[in-house]
Amino acid sequence: MSTDFTPSANWLSHEYRDLNGTAIETLEEPPSALEFMRLVHISRPVIIKGYQFPALKLWNEEYLGEKMGDRQVSVAVTPNGLADSITRGPDGRLYFVEPSVDKMSMKELLSKLGPNRIDTGEICYLQSQNGNLFSSDSSYDPESDPSSSDFEPLTSDVPRDVPWCSDALGERPDAVNLWIGDERSITSIHSDPYENIYTVVRGEKHFFLLPPTDSWCLKESLYPHANYSRRSPLGTLELIPSPEDVPEVRWSSILDPELPTALPKEVVPIRVTLHAGETLYLPVGWWHYVQQSGLTIALNWWYDAEMRGMSWVLLNFLRNPVQLPSGNGNSIAQLAPS
């Protein structure tokens, strides 16, 4: 892989914006399967209004707490709201840090979120991302037990797939996830190997979006792995580096893309605030940095990306995967504030 890629890459960022502008389309109702397939081909985010399902009407704090009862669910807990993010460890090195995963009831989770929360000095975010509602490994297998979902009492409120998306792509989603958090949790900038349908049920999500043609300025590097963990059950969360045999994690070195110097001037993001009842189509490979206002509940459907043809190869090419630098090298580490 050439290491002299930046001038060409810069051209890509410029040309993409020149041709596409920085506004995105809003549909007043869900597309047909064919219309959605055209949108997938263009591979540009679209806001979709009017995609209806029971959770949008039924879900509030009281309903969720009652329905879920004493069931224990897995919640990401951090001291700073940065789950799955680059953070400096006590030894001065930068790590990709995963959250502590604590079990609690839905009522307990909700008591720790939003304006009337009990402040514990720790920040909770339900973000298990493993198809916590439905996944292709379990619920789509007719022989599997659908009650195995942590969220089985809520599954009847959520469609297992998005009809216009499944019909377009000719496949069911790989995972359906539930997300519950508040303004203290931030999702660091990353891209996913999925076509993503994302619906806000309560609250607001703020997306900072960059196309795959900007991948070069995300400065992906390899970071050693760590976890937030407690040394004793009632102890505080500490950043604990993982053993050396845990593989390094490839992640963007841009911790806060909103900082004025984080990105080249010409790299202008698309900003989307998604309100309750609105759905975002977020195409494969798009970079997203996500925040929320107050208690926010959201759902998403992840569909496998098309691997045939050129798109997958080009997405990987744009991320320049060979000769990835260490995130703790001199030039890259300066990008990450200590």
Q: Which residues contact a copy of itself by CB under 8 A?
A: 1-2, 4-8, 11-12, 15-16, 19-20, 33-34, 37-38, 40-44, 167-170, 211-213, 306-314, 316-317, 320, 322
Q: By C-beta, is 2 or 330 nearer to a copy of itself?
A: 2
d(CA 210, CA 60): 32
d(CA 257, CA 246): 28
Q: By C-beta, is 259 or 313 nearer to a copy of itself?
A: 313
DSSP label of 326: B
**The pair of three-digit structure tokens given for residue 174, joined into one six-digit string:** 């790989």
How far is C-alpha 188 from the chain's CA centre?
Answer: 8
Find out whether 217 and 263 touch, Cβ atoms under 8 Å: yes
Q: At 197, give phi and psi (nearest 5°).
A: -110, 120
Least distance to a copy of itself, CB of residue 165, Å: 12
Residue whose tokens read 């994690």: 249
Q: At 320, give phi and psi (nearest 5°).
A: 55, 60
229 CB-side CA count, 13 A: 9
Find out whether 87 and 131 touch, Cβ atoms under 8 Å: no
Least distance to a copy of itself, CB of residue 254, Å: 21
Q: By C-beta, is 63 or 317 nearer to a copy of itself?
A: 317
Least distance to a copy of itself, CB of residue 32, Å: 9
Residue whose tokens read 């807990």: 77
**The pair of three-digit structure tokens given for residue 230, joined into one six-digit string:** 């407690």
Q: By C-beta, is 2 or 232 nearer to a copy of itself?
A: 2
Least distance to a copy of itself, CB of residue 209, Å: 14
Least distance to a copy of itself, CB of residue 250, Å: 17
Q: By C-beta, is 211 or 224 nearer to a copy of itself?
A: 211
Q: By C-beta, is 1 or 118 nearer to a copy of itself?
A: 1
Least distance to a copy of itself, CB of residue 4, Å: 4
Strand 94-98 with 225-230, pairing: parallel
